[in-house]
Chain A
Amino acid sequence: MTPPAKVLIVDDEPNILLSLKFLMTKAGYAVRTAKDGEEALAEIGRDRPDLMLLDVMMPKIDGFTVCQRVKSSPEWNGVRVIMLTARGRDVEREKGLALGADDYITKPFSTKDALDRVAALLADMGGSAAADEKPVETPGGDGTV
């Protein structure tokens, strides 16, 4: 039996945090929360999550920085990150994705959509958090080009 996927929700808006926690818990994930970037990094260090719902604009350390740290650190390899933002500008979206975010959700979001995205990303991992190892694609690496 597969243990439930671990989801870390990070947002400085208590009400948003509350709604997401309710939704994710109900969907069967093991949910933890953090109310700013600093707390988030501490939580990740404490127990590696499978997926993070990460707000961009937060006190102390912003979401982009957290995303970058997570994505550039080998020990957290495979942690999925979905950025949450209320700014809704393409530039931000691109910046997030460039920093390695796996997906991007604009506030206000449809709860169903948010759940689907989380589920889709976790399914992509084959349900196993530890086994995630994305195949490395080297352009032209097979020598046929």
Chain B
Amino acid sequence: MLSIPVIVGVSFVYLSLLFAIAYYCDKRADAGRSVINTPYVYALSIAVYCTSWTFFGSVGRAATSGVGFLPIYLGPTLTFIFGWMVIRKIIRISKANRITSIADFIASRYGKSVALGGLVSVIAVIGIPPYISIQLTAISTSFSILQGYPSIQMPAGVGGIALLHDTELYVSLLMAAFAILFGTRHIDASEHHEGLVAAVAFESLVKLVAFLCVGLFVTYGLYNGFSDIFARAEASPELKRLFTIGSVAGHISWITLTILAMAAIVVLPRQFQVLVVENIDERHLKKAVWLFPLYLLLINIFVLPIAFAGLMQFADGEVKPDTFVMTIAMKEQLPLLALFAFIGGLSAATGMIIVETIALATMVSNDLVMPLLLRFGGQRLRDRKDLTGLLLAIRRGTIVVVLMLGYLYASTLGSSYALVTIGLVSFVAVLQFAPAIVAGIYWKGASKAGALAGLSGGFGLWTYTLLLPSFARSGWLASDFVNQGPWGIALLKPYALFGLEGLDPISHATIWTLLVNAGLLIGVSIVSTQSLIERTQAVQFVDVFKTAHGSGREWRGRASVGELVSLLERFLGAARAETALARLERETGRTLARDSRADSDVVAFVERQLAGSMGAASARIMVASVLREEMHDIDEVTRLLDEASQLVLYSRKLEDKSRKLETATAELQAANGRLLELDKLKDDFMATVSHEIRTPLTSIRSFGEILRDNPDLDVEQRQEFMSIIVVESERLSRLINDILDLAKMEAGTTQWLVEDVDPGQALSEAMVATSGLVAMSPSTRLAADIAAGMSPIRVDRDRFKQVVINLVSNGLKFCDPAAGMVTVKAWQEGGMLRVDVIDNGQGIARQDHDKIFERFQQAGNTLTDKPQGTGLGLPICRQILEQFGGAIWVDSEPGHGATFSFKIPAKIPAVTNAATAAA
């Protein structure tokens, strides 16, 4: 009934169905109607974590170590429930940077390092094949057992029948073909494989249902539920030991396995692929956080019942526990259930193999082969028109190589271990990625050197403590090396390094590699310095939730938009490049002319697009080759320094500007102050003029009213009062004349009658004019000392006399009241006429010497010292003298009289005629 053709036929039909689903979903995705855009598909695709190791191996492990199978599922559950924000951050970062694989992620984080990307790829390619090998073994084993139906025969171990080998080989080749079909039909800019994800989700569903069917049959068909099985198991002393964990080593093993699995759910290349790269919507994670743990719970719920049932059904130990899921059904003569179980196992294995190899292929092509080819392949390669074919070829080749490695591992080493143990070897290998990732997204200080050191150290130790011993076990290496340590050094025993004994090899290796890896990462990061691009990337990764997305790399380049677009075309094809460009134009809201210069936004965009199909490191090299940009850090440093120095220059200019501004402000304030002062002076002047005019007016009005209201005044009083009115009127007229005079002079509208004037004669006339004043005060004398034969001066005769009269009047007013003496001296002094008017009065304080020539300013307090006269005499004198090129000043000591002096140019005889003519 279950002949080989039937089994092969059913398997083919099943795989074809998967392919049909993938094909359909790809078509839908291309049409923009995604089928997988739901958290349920997302969660199911993550369940690719459950491989044939889960499907068959969990029962096997449970049958030998009881609950020991649990940590592998407890770990992911813990990660999802407590570490979902770590996953979210990784997803966010990956989307922002168009990360295509875990190698790309690490390389990108540490300065788009080609070396790191390559190292991660190498570790994955070496570390993963054991894991793939168990899938191959599972398929071929389950196949060979199933085709023996109704008899149950275990396939032989190492060096078994040729058929088995052949089966594994065929399976490998078949899987390679499927993986190539699923994952490398075309290159996608976003590296999304929607069809693949849909098929994987479907497989997850199938394997779950198959396992549940077997579980339900065993629990409720063969026995009467859980309690019945557990009760029977407890009754058997051999089975009872499976309920407990046991020794201290057992506990440590539990803890390390849990930690391993916690990391594996993220850092296994295929998990990173479905969890991060294929994630369509970050919000799906929210539901997956409980959906995926639920899936794990369901697929594990019947593990112990099946294991116990198997142990009880096959008490002789002839049947391997790893096959219980299928063999119980066979024993119960249920071929369809057995076939379904086989399909479930096939599902689990193919899902894992396809996704894992595609993830590895992407990694190898983007982060290992392409960067090397681009760097060393020369210009010819870089100029190649169509690189899509090359990329696909590399990926397809990688898939075949990885599967062949898996096949080799399976056929030579694999059967010496249980399924689970082999898988764990791979787990420990990929665990090495965890420190670089965790530090990378939470610690900006983690450097490329640190990551390289940590990864190399961890991976080296993995090779030593797990890979080499597995070779030794299978006889490839002398087993002495494992048992006694190399050269008999016990401290170096791979399973008991530095005396750490009593642990199982996996826990032992986990502890050591993690210690060394993390220690080196932290230590080297602290002592090493980061390059600029490392720092930039570090900030972008760590602060992904803070900063807006973008490369943050300022770039002033020489490439045109057209050049960058043609670069895109070479990798994505013309149509996709066009679409991408249209999206950029839509997003930025501007039109990009092909011949315009590409700015940093466009460069960053193109780099991200390329990164989507070839990884960050390769994309950077490609874009750089177009930009003709040197990538050496020193250039970036120079550029930054240049910017910094420009910044310094700019800030200096700014300082300069602000200093100038301060000066200008101070000047403005000073000017404003002067204006206010002038304003105040004007106000004061108006107030003073008002006062000067009001005073005589007051007397005039008062006496006018008195005369009007008192007609009966006697004549003498009438006369007196009327005289006062006349005198005050004259005073008022004089004042008004003076004000007008001064105003005119200051405004420059005075009419000057300039003529040749004999100074001696003019002085005499002026002194005569003041004789009336002298006569009024009998105790005062006026003396003259005027030189004879002085040269004439060119002045307005009346104005000149006005000056002298003013000065003499002042002298007479202020001289000693008891024995007043005013002397007028005049002489010629170096082509100038010099006149001094000397009085013997109180004198003028030094601080007032300048002030008295201002309007209404007299010596002393203006409020208490009543102006004698109009207060405009001296200012008028100064105005007149300045008009004729002269000057006036005062010399005085308080208590010793005052001497008012002025000078005015005399007319030198030689130029008389010319001057006259000019006048």
| In contact, A57 and B863 (Cβ under 8 angstroms) | yes
B728 beta carbon closer than 8 Å to chain A: yes
- Nearest A residue to B701 via CB reads A108
| In contact, A110 and B705 (Cβ under 8 angstroms) | yes
B694 beta carbon closer than 8 Å to chain A: yes
Among A13, A22, A37, which residue has its beta carbon within 8 angstroms of that of B706? A22
Best-buried of B709, B710, B865, B866 by chain A (most CB within 10 Å):
B866
Bound complex: CA A112 to CA B710 (Å): 13
- Nearest B residue to A12 via CB reads B866
Bound complex: CA A56 to CA B866 (Å): 11
| In contact, A58 and B724 (Cβ under 8 angstroms) | no
- Nearest A residue to B702 via CB reads A19
| In contact, B709 and A111 (Cβ under 8 angstroms) | yes
Q: B-facing mask of A41-54, CB < 8 A → 1, else 0?
A: 00000000000000
Q: Contacting chain B: which of A85-93, A96-104, A124-132, A133-141? A: A85-93
Contacts of B694 in A (CB 8 A): 86-88, 106-108
B699 beta carbon closer than 8 Å to chain A: yes
Q: Min CB distance, B395 to chain A, in Å?
A: 96
Q: Contacting chain B: which of A1-9, A59-67, A69-77? A: A59-67
Best-buried of B698, B699, B721, B865 by chain A (most CB within 10 Å):
B698
Among B690, B703, B727, B865, which residue has its beta carbon within 8 angstroms of that of A19? B703
Contacts of B690-726 to chain A: CB distance below 8 A? 690-691, 694-695, 697-703, 705-706, 709-710, 721, 724
Among B701, B705, B721, B864, which residue has its beta carbon within 8 angstroms of that of A58? B864
A16 beta carbon closer than 8 Å to chain B: yes
| In contact, A88 and B699 (Cβ under 8 angstroms) | no
| In contact, A19 and B706 (Cβ under 8 angstroms) | yes
Contacts of B697 in A (CB 8 A): 107-108
Q: Min CB distance, A51 to chain B, in Å?
A: 18
| In contact, A111 and B702 (Cβ under 8 angstroms) | yes
- Nearest B residue to A89 via CB reads B687
| In contact, B690 and A111 (Cβ under 8 angstroms) | no
Q: B-facing mask of A1-35, CB < 8 A → 1, else 0?
A: 00000000000110110111011001000000000
Contacts of B705 in A (CB 8 A): 110-112
Best-buried of B687, B690, B702, B728 by chain A (most CB within 10 Å):
B702
- Nearest A residue to B691 via CB reads A86
Bound complex: CA A23 to CA B864 (Å): 26
Total A-B Cβ pairs within 8 A? 77
Bound complex: CA A107 to CA B732 (Å): 14
Contacts of B864 in A (CB 8 A): 37, 57-62
Contacts of B702 in A (CB 8 A): 16, 19-20, 23, 108-109, 111
Given known A-B contacts A23-B706, A59-B866, A108 and B724 have beta carbons under 8 A apart:
no
Number of interface residues, chain B, beta carbon within 8 A? 24
Q: A-facing mask of B809-835, CB < 8 A → 1, else 0?
A: 000000000000000000000000000
Contacts of B699 in A (CB 8 A): 13, 15-16, 19
| In contact, B690 and A108 (Cβ under 8 angstroms) | no
Among A59, A86, A89, A112, which residue has its beta carbon within 8 angstroms of that of B865? A59
Among A58, A59, A60, A107, which residue has its beta carbon within 8 angstroms of that of B698? A107
| In contact, B698 and A111 (Cβ under 8 angstroms) | no
- Nearest A residue to B687 via CB reads A87
Bound complex: CA A96 to CA B234 (Å): 117
| In contact, A62 and B695 (Cβ under 8 angstroms) | no
| In contact, A15 and B728 (Cβ under 8 angstroms) | yes
User: In terms of DSSP, what is the predominant structure of the interface of chain B?
Assistant: helix
Among B695, B703, B721, B863, which residue has its beta carbon within 8 angstroms of that of A86? B695
| In contact, B690 and A57 (Cβ under 8 angstroms) | no
Q: Min CB distance, A88 to chain B, in Å?
A: 6
User: In terms of DSSP, what is the predominant structure of the interface of chain A?
Assistant: loop
| In contact, B863 and A15 (Cβ under 8 angstroms) | no
Among A13, A61, A111, which residue has its beta carbon within 8 angstroms of that of B695? A13
Contacts of A108 in B (CB 8 A): 694, 697-698, 700-702
- Nearest B residue to A92 via CB reads B687
| In contact, A57 and B691 (Cβ under 8 angstroms) | yes
Bound complex: CA A108 to CA B700 (Å): 9
Q: Min CB distance, A94 to chain B, in Å?
A: 15
Q: Min CB distance, B120 to chain A, in Å?
A: 88
Contacts of B724 in A (CB 8 A): 15, 18-19
Contacts of B727 in A (CB 8 A): 15
Given known A-B contacts A15-B728, A23-B702, A86-B690, A107 and B695 have beta carbons under 8 A apart:
yes
- Nearest A residue to B710 via CB reads A26
Contacts of B691 in A (CB 8 A): 57, 86-88
Bound complex: CA A58 to CA B867 (Å): 10
Q: Min CB distance, B792 to chain A, in Å?
A: 43
Q: Min CB distance, A58 to chain B, in Å?
A: 6
Q: Min CB distance, A54 to chain B, in Å?
A: 13
Q: Min CB distance, B39 to chain A, in Å?
A: 76
Contacts of A112 in B (CB 8 A): 705
Q: Min CB distance, B694 to chain A, in Å?
A: 4
Among B687, B698, B728, which residue has its beta carbon within 8 angstroms of that of A109? B698
Bound complex: CA A9 to CA B698 (Å): 15
Contacts of A62 in B (CB 8 A): 863-864
- Nearest B residue to A114 via CB reads B702
Q: Min CB distance, A25 to chain B, in Å?
A: 11
- Nearest A residue to B724 via CB reads A15
Q: Min CB distance, A109 to chain B, in Å?
A: 7
Bound complex: CA A59 to CA B702 (Å): 23
Bound complex: CA A110 to CA B702 (Å): 7
Contacts of B687 in A (CB 8 A): 87, 89
Contacts of B715-770 to chain A: CB distance below 8 A? 721, 724, 727-728
Q: Min CB distance, A85 to chain B, in Å?
A: 8
Bound complex: CA A109 to CA B701 (Å): 8
Bound complex: CA A56 to CA B864 (Å): 9
Bound complex: CA A12 to CA B687 (Å): 18
Q: Min CB distance, B667 to chain A, in Å?
A: 31
Contacts of B865 in A (CB 8 A): 59
Contacts of B343-380 to chain A: CB distance below 8 A? none
Q: Min CB distance, B857 to chain A, in Å?
A: 14
Best-buried of A22, A58, A86, A112 by chain B (most CB within 10 Å):
A86
| In contact, B690 and A88 (Cβ under 8 angstroms) | yes
Bound complex: CA A109 to CA B706 (Å): 12
Best-buried of A26, A37, A58, A107 by chain B (most CB within 10 Å):
A107
Given known A-B contacts A15-B724, A89-B687, A111-B709, A57 and B698 have beta carbons under 8 A apart:
no
| In contact, B690 and A58 (Cβ under 8 angstroms) | no
| In contact, B863 and A111 (Cβ under 8 angstroms) | no
| In contact, B695 and A87 (Cβ under 8 angstroms) | no
Q: Min CB distance, A21 to chain B, in Å?
A: 11
Bound complex: CA A13 to CA B703 (Å): 14
Best-buried of A13, A20, A37, A57 by chain B (most CB within 10 Å):
A57
Q: Min CB distance, A37 to chain B, in Å?
A: 7
- Nearest B residue to A19 via CB reads B702
Bound complex: CA A112 to CA B701 (Å): 11
Contacts of B481-500 to chain A: CB distance below 8 A? none
Q: A-facing mask of B861-880, CB < 8 A → 1, else 0?
A: 00111100000000000000
- Nearest A residue to B867 via CB reads A57
Bound complex: CA A37 to CA B865 (Å): 11
Contacts of B703 in A (CB 8 A): 15, 19
For the complex of A and B, list the 10 residue pairs with the smallest distance between their C-beta atoms, beginning with the closest. A19-B702, A86-B694, A108-B698, A15-B699, A107-B698, A108-B701, A111-B705, A86-B691, A108-B697, A107-B694
Other than the given A13-B695, A57-B863, 7 more pairs (CB < 8 A) read A19-B698, A19-B699, A19-B703, A62-B864, A87-B694, A109-B701, A111-B702
Question: Which residues of A pack against B, CB within 8 Å?
Answer: 12-13, 15-16, 18-20, 22-23, 26, 37, 56-62, 86-89, 106-112
What are 29 sample pairs from A and B whose C-beta atoms fall under 8 A apart? A13-B698, A13-B699, A15-B699, A15-B727, A15-B728, A16-B698, A19-B698, A19-B703, A19-B706, A19-B724, A20-B702, A23-B706, A26-B710, A37-B864, A56-B863, A57-B691, A58-B866, A59-B865, A61-B864, A86-B690, A86-B698, A88-B690, A106-B694, A107-B698, A108-B694, A108-B701, A109-B698, A109-B701, A112-B705
